[in-house]
Amino acid sequence: MPGSWTLGIVKPDAVAGRKMGAILARIEERGFRLAAGRMVRLGVPEARAFYAVHRERPFFDELVEFMTSGPCFPVALEREDAVAAFRAVIGATNPADAAEGTIRRDFAESMGRNAVHGSDSDENALREIGFFFTEADLARLAG
C-alpha cells in the first residue's frame, strides 16, 4: 500500500559514531520503506539552504557547523502517515526529553548533536526530499 513521504537524515554525529546501521534498522522495524538514500557531505551553503527556516535562530551557526562536520545519510521514507509517524519514532529535539524507545533517546548525544532529522510537514517533506533526490532517482528506485 503506497503511503505518504518524509525525509529523514542520519546526522553526522550518528554516522561518525557508527550508529547508522542501527538507526536504519530501527526505521525499517517501525514500518518505513527506505525508498532512497545516499551518503552526502554537506557544504556550508547547502546546509544553510536546507535549514534556511532557522537562519534567525541563535543556534543556526552551530547547526550549520555540525551538519557540515562530516558525512550524513539522507533517506526518503514511505509509510502511512509518514511525517507524524517518523516524528514519533525520532522523539523530542532534546534527547533528554525524548520518550523511551525513540531514536534520539537511544542514539543522540545532545540537543544539537541529536542523531536524526525528520521533516515537520508534508509540504516540507517534499521540499526536503527534492533537496537530496531527483524525481528520476525516486522513479528508478521505486518498488
Q: Which residue, 131 or 134, has its beta carbon nearer to ligand IDP?
A: 131
| 131 in contact with ligand IDP (CB under 6 A) | no
Q: What is the Cα–Cα distance from 95 to 115, expressed in whole angstroms?
A: 9
- Non-local (6+) Cβ contacts of 19 within 8 A are 10, 107, 115
Of residues 83, 106, 112, the one with CA closest to residue 11 = 112
Does 117 participate in binding ligand IDP (rule CB under 6 A)? yes
Pairwise CA distance, residues 7 & 128, whole Å: 6
> Looking at the DSSP assignment, which residues form a beta bridge with residue 117?
9
48 sits near ligand IDP (criterion: CB under 6 A): no
- When asked if residue 17 is in the footprint of ligand IDP (CB under 6 A), the reply is no
Pairwise CA distance, residues 111 & 13, whole Å = 12
Q: How many residues bind Mg ion (CB under 5 A)?
A: 1
Q: How far is the CB of 35 from Mg ion (least distance, A)?
A: 21
Q: Which of 28, 39, 43, 59 binds ligand IDP (CB under 6 A)?
A: 59
Nearer to ligand IDP, 8 or 37 (CB): 8
Q: Which of 46, 106, 120, 137 binds ligand IDP (CB under 6 A)?
A: 120
x-marked contacts with Mg ion along 113-132 as a string, rule CB under 5 A: -------x------------
Structure-block grid coordinates of residue 110: 545532545
List alpha helices for 30-118, DSSP H: 44-50, 60-67, 82-90, 103-107
Least distance in angstroms from the C-beta of 105 to ligand IDP? 13
Residues taking part in catalysis: 117
